Structure 1
Amino acid sequence: MFAHVDINNCYVSCEVLFQPQLKGRVIVVLSNNDGCVIARSNEAKAIGIKMADAEFMVRKNLSEHNAVIFSSNYPLYADMSARLMNNLARYTYTLMVYSIDEAFMALGNIHSLNLEEHAATISREVMQNTGLSITIGIGPTFSLAKMANKAAKRQKRDYLVLDTEEKINAIVEDFPIEDVWGVGLAYFNKLLESGIKTAGDFRRCKADWVRQQMTVQGWRLHQELWGKPCNVIRDVAERSKGIESSQSFNTYQTTLEAIEEAVCMHAATVALKLRQQNSMALNITVYLRTNKHNVKHDQYYPSLTVKVPFAANSNHAFTRVCLQALRAIWQPGFNYLKTGVRATGIVPAGEVQCNLFTGYDHSREQRLASLIDELNVRYGRGTVRIAAEGYEKKWVMKQEYLSQQYTTKWQDIIVTK
C-alpha cells in the first residue's frame, strides 16, 4: 500500500498560517513578477479564479471581492515543505518527495497497520506540528493513491483509504478520465474520441489497445488502475529528468550584459541544486524568451543545449558553458522577458566518467564548490558567488505583494508580547 499526501492549497495555506485573520477571505498567490495566479483559496475558486489566470485579466474580479494578493514567497514555502516532509518521514520506512507540496509514502510492510487509524494520526499530528492542513489518499498503487487523494478532497475528507476491491471500484467507475494522474491533454482528447470519459471506461479497455494507443506509459497506468504496481519509490537523483532555474524580468531587457548576469545566477542555482542531491549533469540548456502576449514586439525563442565534456555540478563549470551558449543564441534588437538554465542527463555524483587525456581537475572543482557552499551556509546565500552574476541586479523580479519570510529571516520572525 502507498499513501499520497499533499498540502491543501499549499502556498495559500503557508500565508494564512502566519496571518490567521485572513481565513475565509478570497486569497491568491501570484507567479514570478506577479504575472499569473498559481495558488487560490477555496473562496477564490468559488468566484471563478482559475489556475494560470493572468493577474491583469482577473484584477477587477479580485478588487470587487476585496481579495488578498501575495507574491510568491518561495523561501517560506520551501521551509514549510521541509517541515512537512520531516514529519511525514516519521510514519513510513520510505518517503519520496514528489514536489514542494506532495509526497508518496510506502506503507505496505508495516506490520499490523490499521490504515484508517494511521491516516488519521498523520493528519492530526501534521496539523499539530506544522499548522498545515493535508489530504491523504491510500491505495495499492501510486495512481490509485493519487486518485484516492483527489476523491477525498471532493468528499471534503482528510483522508480516504482504498484497501478493498469494492472501494476501488466505487471510486474508479465515475472518476473523470481527465483527472487521472498521467492523462494529459493529448491523451484526454484521444481517449474522448474513443468514448472513454471515466477511469472505469479506461480500465475496461484491453491492455494491448492501451499500449498501442498510449505507449508503455499508458499501459502502466492501466495496470495500476487494476491494482498492479508499476511505479516504485526512487531516490531523487534516480528520478530527476531535469533541474531548471528560470525567472521573468521585471522589465524588458535589451542588453547582453544584464542577461548574462541573470544566466550566471540561474547556472549557480542549478549547480547548487545538483550538489544538494549529490548528482551531476551531462547536458546544459540555456534559453531566451520574448513576450508572446505582446504582438507589437518581434518574437524570438532561442535555446541551445550543450553537452559538457564531463558531468559537472560546480558553479565555475556551469557559468563557463552557459555564457558561451548565451552568446551563441543572443540577437540584438529584441525585448527579452525571460531567460533560464536547465540541466539534464542527471547522474549520481559517484558515477562520473573522467578522461586520461585532458587536464580537467575534477577534485579541485569539487573542493572549491564545497568551500563556497560552506561559506554561503555560514554567512548567507550569495555571500560568495561568481563575479559574472553581478552586484546590483537591475533585472530582479517584481514582487509588490511579498509577505515576510517568517521562518528564514531573523528580522521577519513574529514577536509576541
Structure 2
Amino acid sequence: MFAHVDINNCYVSCETLFQPQLKGKVVVVLSNNDGCVIARSNEAKAIGIKMADAEFIVRKTLQAHDAAIFSSNYALYADMSARMMNNLARYTYMLMVYSIDEAFLALGNITGVDLESYVAAISHNVMRDTGLSITVGVGPTMALAKLANKASKKMGRKFLVLDTRVKVDEVVRDFPIEDVWGIGRQYYEKLKSFKVITAQDFRELKPDLVRQHMTVQGWRLHQELWGIPCNVIRDVAERSKGIESSQSFNTYQTELKKIEEATAMHAATVAIKLRQQKSMAMTLTVYLRTNKHNISHDQHYPSITLKVPFATNSTQEFTKICVQAIRAIWQPGYNYLKTGVRATGIIPAGEVQHNLFSNYDNSKQLTLSGLMDDINARYGRGSLRLAAEGYEKTWKMKQEFLSKQYTTSWQDIIVAK
C-alpha cells in the first residue's frame, strides 16, 4: 500500500498559520514579482479567483472583498514543508518528497494495524505538530493513492483509504479522467477522441492500445489504475533530473554587474539544494531571458551548458563557473528580465568517481561550503555569502506584500507575552 499526502492550499495555509485572524477570509498568494495568483483560500475560490489570474485583473475584486494579499515567501514555505516531511517520516520506512507540499509514503510493512486508524493518526498528528492541514489518500499503487487523495478532497474528507477492490472500483467509476495523475492536456485530448471521460473508461481500454498511443508511461498508469504497481518510491537523489534556481528581476536589467550578482545567487542556491540532498552535479546550464511578451523590445534568449571538471556541490566552484558563463552569453543593448542556473547530471555524493591522472581536491571548498551552511542555519539564510552575490540587491524581484520570516529569521520570530 502507498499513501499520498499533500498540504491543503499550502502557501495560504502557511500564511494563515501565523496570522490566524485571516482564517475564513479571502486570502491569495502571488507569484514572483507579484504577477499572478498561485495560491487561494477556499473563500477566494468561492468568489471566482482562479489560478494564474493576473493580479492587476483581479485587483478590484480582491479589494472589494477586503482580501489579504501576500507575496511568495518561499523561505517560510520551504521550512514549513520540511517540518511536515520530518513528521511524515515517522510513519514510513520510505518517504519520497514529490514537491514542496506533496509526498508519497510506502506502507508495505504496516501489518496488524487498521489502516483507517493509522491514516487518521497521521492526519491528526501532523496538524497537532505543525499546524498544517493535510489530506491523505491511500491505495495499492501510487496512482490510486494520488487519486484517493483528490477524491477525498472532493468528498470534503481528511483522508480516504482504498484497501479493497470494491472501494477502488467505486471511486474510479466516476472520477474525471483529466484529474488523474499523469494525464496532461495532450493525453486528455487524445483520450477524448476515444470517448474516455472517466478513469473507469480509461481502465476499460485494451493495454496494447494504451501503449501504442500513450507510450510506456500511459501503459504504466493504466496498470496502476487496475491495482498493479508499476511505479516505485525512490530516493530523492535517484529521481532528480535537475535542480534549478531562477527569478525574474523587478525591472529590466542592462548592466552586466547586476546580472552577475543574480547569477551568483542562483548558483549558490543550486549548490545548497544539492548539499541538502547529499548530491553532486556534473553539468551546469546558465541562461538569460528577455521579456517575450514585450514585442517592442529586441529579444535574446542565450544559454550555455558546461561540464563541471569534477562533480561537486561547492558554492565557490559553482559561482566561479556560472559567473564566467554569464559573461560569455551576455550582450549589451538588451533588456534582460530573468536569469537562472540549472544543475543536471546529478549523482549521490558518495558515488563520485575521481580521476587517477589529476590531483584535483575540492575538500577545502566543500568544508568551507559546509561551514557557510552551519552559520546560515544558525543566523538565517544569507547571513554569510560570497561577495559575488553583491550587498544591495536592487535587482531582486518585487515583493510588496511579503510576510515575515517567522521560522527562519531571529528578528521575525513571534514573541509570546
Q: TM range, normalised to the smaller chain?
A: over 0.9
- C-alpha separation in 1, matches of 2:75 and 2:372: 20
Residue 262 (structure 1) aligns with: 262
Q: Within 2, Cα distance between the matches of 1:402 and 1:373?
A: 24
Per-residue Cα deviation, 1:313-335 (whole angstroms, up to 9, x for no partner): 11122122212321222122221
Structure 1: runs of 5 or more not aligned: none
1:286 is paired with a residue of what secondary structure? strand
Cα distance in 2 for partners of 1:208, 1:325 equals: 47
Aligned to 2:287: 287
Query: Could you tell me how far apart the structure 1 residues matched to 2:415 and 2:261 are?
Result: 37
2:130 matched to 1:155?
A: no
Look up the match of 1:27.
27
Distance in structure 2 (CA, Å) of the matches to 1:13 and 1:370: 32
- 1:241-280 correspondence to structure 2 within 5 Å: 241-280=241-280
Give 1:296 deviation, angstroms: 2.2
Using a 3 Å threshold, how does the CA distance of structure 1 residues 160 and 379 change in structure 2: closer, same or farther?
Answer: closer
Unaligned ranges ≥5, structure 2: none
Structure 1 residues 405 and 368: CA distance shift in structure 2, 3 A: closer
CA distance in 1 between partners of 2:320 and 2:84 (Å)? 37
- Equivalent residue letter for 2:58: V
Counterpart CA distance in 1 for 2:14 and 2:89 is 20
Name the counterpart of 1:221.
Answer: 221
Which residue number in structure 2 is paired with residue 55 of structure 1? 55
**Could you give the per-residue CA deviations for residues 147-206 of structure 1, whole angstroms, max 9, x where no partner exists?**
000000001001111111111111112211111111111211222222222211111111
Q: Distance in 2 between matches of 1:87 and 1:378?
A: 22
Cα deviation digits, residues 335-380 of structure 1 (max 9, x gap): 1111110111110111112223334223333233223333333444
Per the alignment, do residues 335 and 313 of structure 1 end up closer, same or farther by CA in structure 2, a change over 3 Å counting? same
Note the C-alpha offset of 1:396: 1.4
TM-score by length of 2: 0.96
2:234 equivalent to 1:234? yes
Structure 2 equivalent of residue 190 of structure 1: 190
The code of the aligned residue for 1:129 comes to D
* CA RMSD of superposed structures (Å): 1.5
Q: Work out the number of aligned pairs and report it.
A: 417
Q: Deviations over 1:113-164 (max 9, x none)?
A: 2111111111122222222111110000110000000000001001111111
- 1:5-404 alignment, distance < 5 Å: 5-404=5-404
- Give the SS at the match of 1:281: strand
Structure 2: how far apart are the matches of 1:326 and 1:259? 8
3-state SS, counterpart of residue 212 of structure 1: helix
The 1-side partners of 2:209 and 2:265 are apart by: 47
Q: 1:85 to 1:210 in 2, by over 3 A?
A: same
The one-letter amino acid of 2:238's match is: E
Percent of residue pairs bearing the same amino acid type: 74
SS of match in other structure, 1:264: helix
Cα shift readout 1:213-236 (whole Å, capped 9, x = no counterpart): 111111111111110111111111
Q: Are the aligned partners of 2:89 and 2:95 in contact in 1 as well (CA < 8 Å)?
A: yes
**Are the equivalent residues in 1 in contact too, given 2:283–2:307 (CA < 8 A)?**
yes
Letter in 2 for 1:284: L
Q: State whether residues 32 and 398 of structure 2, in contact with CA within 8 Å, keep that contact through their aligned partners in structure 1.
A: yes
